[in-house]
Structures are given as C-alpha cells and as structure tokens.
C-alpha cells in the first residue's frame, strides 16, 4: 500500500511540475511578447491603431478670384459640402440609408449598389456640393461611414453679362472655358494635407494635425470694366432683339494700353446654370468667329494708297457711271458718285474707288499693308480658341481678288482683331498686343505706319459720322468720332447670299486724340434696315456716350457757347 501510495504521490508531483512548467512557459512567452511590443518593436501596435483610426485627408485649396479693373468680383469660390461614404464601413442593411436616399433625391438601390461594387475603395461620392441645410440634415443622421467633405463651388456674380470672357470651371474646379481656362494654373492653388482621427463610426473627429498647409490660388485682375461691360452687353442685346438678328458681338479696346475694356456677345449664357447648354453656346464669338469685314477696311486701302506715294488728299478718282467691270464681274456703288477724292471715298463708302486704288498698287505691298494692321495674325490676347483670321494667298491672287479686297471681301477677321487694327489708326501707326489682364505699363508695340498718314486717314473717317456720311447714327454729343460702317453679304456655298448680311461699325473716340476703339458686328439682321450704319452704328453711339462719362474723358467738340462759358 505504501509503495502504491508513493507512486501516486510521484505521479501527482510530476503533473504539478508539468503544470508549473507550462505556467512558467506561458509567463515567459507573455513576457517575451510584452518585451517585443514595448521594447524591441514598439511601433507595431501604434501602426495598427493608426491604420484603423488615422487618415491623411487632403485639404482643398481656395481657387483665386477673378476681378474686374475696379476690383469687383467676377468669379469667386464659396465653401460647400459634398456627401461621401466609405463602402467598407457602411452596411448594406443600414436602416437609415432609406432616409439618406430621400434627402439626396436618389434611389436607395443605387446607393446600395455603390456600396456593394466599391468594397475595395474607401471613398465614393454620393452627391457633390449640397446646400448647407442638406449637409446639416445628413450630419444629423449619424450613419457610420457616411461623412461630409468641404469643397468650393465657383460663383459668377455678373452672370451672363461677362460669361464669354470669364468662362467657367467644372465640378472639380478646373477651368473649362474663357479666362478660367487660360489662367487655370495661376488660379488653382495647391492642396494641403491633414492627419485626421476617425471614431468607431468611421466619422472624422474635429481638429487633426496639419501636415502641409493648403496654398490658395492667386487672384487675377482683368482689364474689363464691369460698368462698361454692362453698358455694352445691354446695348448689343437691344440691337440684336430690335433687328431680330441671329447673333451679335461688340469689343471695346483702350488704344493706349491694348486692354480689352468690354466684350459682349449675343446670345449669351448663364455660367451659374449651364443645364441643357451645348458646347457651341460657350464660344466667345468676338474671338473665335470670323467674318468678311466689308467696307470697314476701306481706311486700310486708303492708307496703303497714301503710303505708296501715288495718292494724297487732293487725288481725284472717277467712279462714273457707278459700275466698274473687273474680269467680267461688276463692282457697284450705291449710286453714281462721279469724280471723288479720298475723303469722299470713305464718307460715301465707294466700292469702285477703293477697288481702283487696290488695282493701282503693287499687290505685294497692298497685302503687306493690310497685314501691318495685324490682320491674319494672333492678337496676343492668348484667349482659348482664338481665330487668327485669313488673308488671300499671294501666289494665286487674281485681279478680281485684289479689287474686292480693297473693299473688304476675300479676307476674314474677328471682331477683336478688327478692333486691334483700328487701334493702329488711333495710336498713330503703332501695332500693340491685346490683353485681357489689367496692366500698369503701356506696351511699346511696333510702328507700322507714320503718324502723319494715320492723322490724315482719321480726319477722312470723321466725315463718315457727319451729315452725308454712312455712319451718322454713331455720333456722340460733344465728341469727335472717326469711324467706318460696313455691310457685307454672307458667304454661302457657291457664292454670297442675297438676303443675309453682317452689319458692322468700327470707330475711334475722341477723334482728336483717340482713346477707345470699338467694333460692333450684328449677324443677319432681319427687317428693312440691315446696313452697318443703321444697325451697328447706334450701338457704338450708345456705348461710347456712357464710356466717355464713366472714364471721365474730356470732350473735344463742345459748342462754342459752352466753351465760352467754360473759359469764364
């Protein structure tokens, strides 16, 4: 019995030692693991915790503003929220999803499909740029994995008045049209980075650690004067409506600086609500659309004639009997003007006299004189989609082509390019680049004609606005105006339409020392009036009357009685 008892005692002692050994091993194992985590590899648990609760979240940068020349905002970014979810955190059977779907105006099945098909992702938008009220309602639902992200929405205070110049951005705040596209790299800031903590429901806790601050985009100040822009836009719109025209465009340039002070188009669009619009609705007609300038280039033909030495103020050109045959084609005047000088050519807009000058000049020199006005080349404005215009091909220039170019057919230009060409007249023969951005320095430009020739041509152009001229409706009280009207038939397949016109007026003011150049083009006016002097000239008069007051430009044609009172 004693031997059996000893054996039992030995077995019990062995089992106890085994338990003790196992306990010791467990303690040693736990101790080793604890030492490994705390001493040898202390970052492991921290990494695992961070991986579950810490996220690096981008901080959206504020896009720079676009301002007019007086500092008025044309494009600003306002903070908004977008609703998003993490498909890995949102349960398909989440009971509050139906309420969320109703708030967002979406189908709950669409939301569930986004969750199910994006399990490998951690970020999926549900709705961009929601109202503050809706964002607050979503936040109150407190759904795990559903959160708000702050973004910016572009807003355009001037609406359709300046839309073709300013352009717009897409939903990601990237420039798509106009100057928003041209200066996108300058306006776009650099996004920042922030380390945020997520709670157990997957929502970000307020605060966080800023890793890299966001850098806001730079502001751009345009040369556009919003006051003058409103005036130009309304005058053009009224003209297009009054004459039931297809479209219209108008450009105002500061002759001294080359700055675009106003540019309007009809029809226009609202950049704050582009639903249902086509890409063609966004084009800036003043820059992208080309047309044959018609009689508005006759001052250029006269300039080339004087420059050649063959013509001067006293030269007489015989236009009798009002019809001129060239290569089997008839060139006609409105009536038989008989023998006329250069001033009458411009005043009465004689096609015959202009074509005779063109045919009398060296074709190569005539072509290059037109090019010296900046025709057929970029204006330097760097506007998206700018058309350079076209000039005739010298190698295949026929006699009829030379004759018709003298009065504005066979070449094409944009309204902006034609306004720049007229600024050459106003600046005394200096061709300058055009800019949409405000500048404090006057560009040097390059001299292309003598100041004396430009002065002679401007004096002739003043007769266009005086009684007996074709542009009397462009007159501005107390100011001398130099201008030229133009009425060109629209080119169609196989020739020109007999009942579709483009009415143009281009002018300078004040003529004694030109400050502004303006071009107005109305496309396909319908009705009894379709001449440039009747359709486009009144727009010039209305805009320039307001511009002289807004820009505080002194009159140069006050009646003698007012001048006497002023001296007293």
The CA-atom distances, in angstroms, between 526 and each of 264, 283, 285, 522, 540 are 20, 23, 20, 10, 19
- One-character DSSP codes across 195-225: EEEB-TTSPBPS--EEEE--BPPPPEEBS--
Report the 10 Å Cβ neighbour count for 400.
17
| Strand 124-130 with 66-67, pairing | unpaired
Cβ pair 184, 255 in contact under 8 A: no
The CA-atom distances, in angstroms, between 107 and each of 97, 110, 130, 410 are 10, 5, 17, 59
- In which order are the strands placed within the sheet that holds 192-197? 54-59, 192-197, 209-212
Cβ pair 418, 424 in contact under 8 A: no
- Using a 10 angstrom Cβ sphere, with 0-12 exposed, 13-18 middle and 19 or more buried, the burial of residue 383 is buried
Cβ-based neighbours of 45, under 8 Å, separated by 6 or more: 37
Q: Is 468 left (phi over 0), alpha (psi -120 to 50) or beta?
A: left
CA dihedral (133, 137, 142, 147) positive or negative: negative
Question: What is the rounded distance in angstroms from the CA atom of residue 345 to the CA atom of residue 302?
Answer: 9
- Token pair, residue 553, equals 């430009």
Annotate 18-53 with b (16+ C-beta within 10 A) or e (fewer).
eeeeeeeeeeeeeeeeeeeeeeeeeeeeeeeeeeee
- Token pair, residue 199, equals 């709670």
- Single out the catalytic residue among 69, 257, 295, 304: 295
Report the 10 Å Cβ neighbour count for 268.
19
Rg for the chain (alpha carbons), in Å? 37
Cβ-based neighbours of 65, under 8 Å, separated by 6 or more: 73, 74, 75, 76, 77, 219, 220
Residue linked to tokens 């188009």: 265
| Strand 323-326 with 168-169, pairing | unpaired
Phi then psi for 512, rounded to 5 degrees? -70, -30
- Torsion of the alpha carbons at 108, 109, 112 and 116, rounded to the nearest 10: -170
Question: What is the rounded distance in angstroms from the CA atom of residue 364 to the CA atom of residue 394?
Answer: 7
- Token pair, residue 165, equals 């110049």
**How many Cα atoms are found within 13 Å in the side-chain-facing hemisphere of 484?**
30
Question: What is the rounded distance in angstroms from the CA atom of residue 113 to the CA atom of residue 563?
Answer: 80
The answer to whether 295 is a known catalytic residue is yes
Give the catalytic positions in this structure: 295
């Amino acid at each position: 019995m004693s031997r059996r008892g000893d054996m039992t005692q030995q077995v019990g002692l062995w089992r106890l030692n085994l338990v003790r050994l196992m306990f010791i091993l467990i303690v040693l194992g736990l101790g080793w693991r604890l030492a490994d985590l705390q001493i040898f590899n202390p970052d492991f648990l921290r990494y695992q915790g961070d991986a579950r609760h810490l996220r690096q979240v981008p901080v959206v940068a504020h896009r720079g503003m676009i301002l007019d020349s007086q500092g008025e905002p044309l494009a600003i970014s306002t903070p908004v929220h977008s609703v998003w979810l993490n498909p890995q955190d949102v349960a398909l059977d989440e009971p509050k999803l139906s309420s969320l779907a109703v708030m967002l105006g979406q189908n709950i099945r669409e939301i569930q499909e986004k969750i199910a098909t994006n399990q490998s992702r951690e970020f999926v938008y549900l709705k961009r740029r929601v109202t503050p009220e809706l964002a607050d309602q979503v936040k109150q639902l407190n759904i795990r994995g559903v959160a708000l992200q702050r973004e910016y929405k572009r807003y355009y205070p001037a609406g359709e008045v300046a839309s073709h110049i300013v352009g717009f951005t897409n939903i990601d705040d990237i420039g798509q049209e106009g100057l928003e596209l041209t200066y996108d790299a300058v306006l776009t800031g650099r996004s920042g980075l922030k380390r945020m903590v997520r709670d157990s429901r997957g929502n970000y806790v307020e605060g966080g650690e800023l890793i890299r601050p966001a850098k806001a985009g730079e502001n751009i100040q345009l040369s556009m004067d919003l006051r003058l822009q409103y005036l130009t836009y309304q005058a053009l719109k009224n003209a297009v409506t009054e004459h039931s025209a297809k479209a219209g465009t108008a450009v105002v340039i500061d002759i001294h600086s080359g700055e675009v002070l106003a540019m309007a188009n009809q029809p226009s669009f609202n950049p704050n609500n582009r639903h249902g619009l086509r890409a063609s609705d966004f084009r800036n007609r003043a820059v992208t659309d080309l047309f044959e300038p018609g009689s508005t280039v006759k001052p250029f033909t006269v300039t080339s004639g004087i420059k050649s030495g063959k013509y001067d103020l006293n030269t007489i050109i015989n236009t009798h009997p009002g019809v001129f045959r060239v290569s089997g084609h008839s060139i006609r005047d409105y009536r038989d003007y008989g023998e006329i000088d250069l001033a009458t050519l411009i005043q009465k807009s004689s096609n015959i006299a202009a074509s005779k000058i063109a045919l009398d000049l060296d074709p190569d020199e005539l072509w290059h004189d037109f090019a010296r006005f900046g025709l057929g080349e970029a204006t330097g404005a760097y506007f998206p989609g700018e058309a350079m215009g076209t000039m005739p091909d010298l190698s295949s220039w026929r006699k009829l082509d030379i004759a018709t170019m003298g009065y504005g057919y066979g070449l094409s230009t944009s309204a902006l390019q034609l306004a720049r060409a007229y600024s050459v007249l106003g600046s005394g023969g200096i061709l300058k680049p055009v800019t949409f951005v405000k500048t404090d320095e006057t560009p040097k430009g390059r001299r292309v004609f003598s100041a004396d020739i430009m002065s002679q041509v401007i004096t002739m152009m003043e007769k266009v606005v005086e009684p007996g001229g074709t542009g009397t409706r462009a007159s501005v009280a107390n100011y001398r105006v130099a201008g030229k009207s133009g009425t060109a038939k629209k080119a169609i397949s196989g020739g020109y339409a007999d009942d579709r016109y483009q009415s143009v007026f281009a002018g300078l003011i004040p003529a004694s020392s030109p400050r502004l150049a303006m071009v107005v083009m109305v496309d396909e006016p319908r009705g009894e009036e379709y001449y440039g002097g009747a359709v486009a000239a009144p727009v010039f008069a209305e805009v320039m009357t307001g511009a002289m007051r807004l820009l505080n430009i002194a009159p140069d044609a006050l009646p003698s009685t007012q001048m006497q009172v002023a001296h007293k």
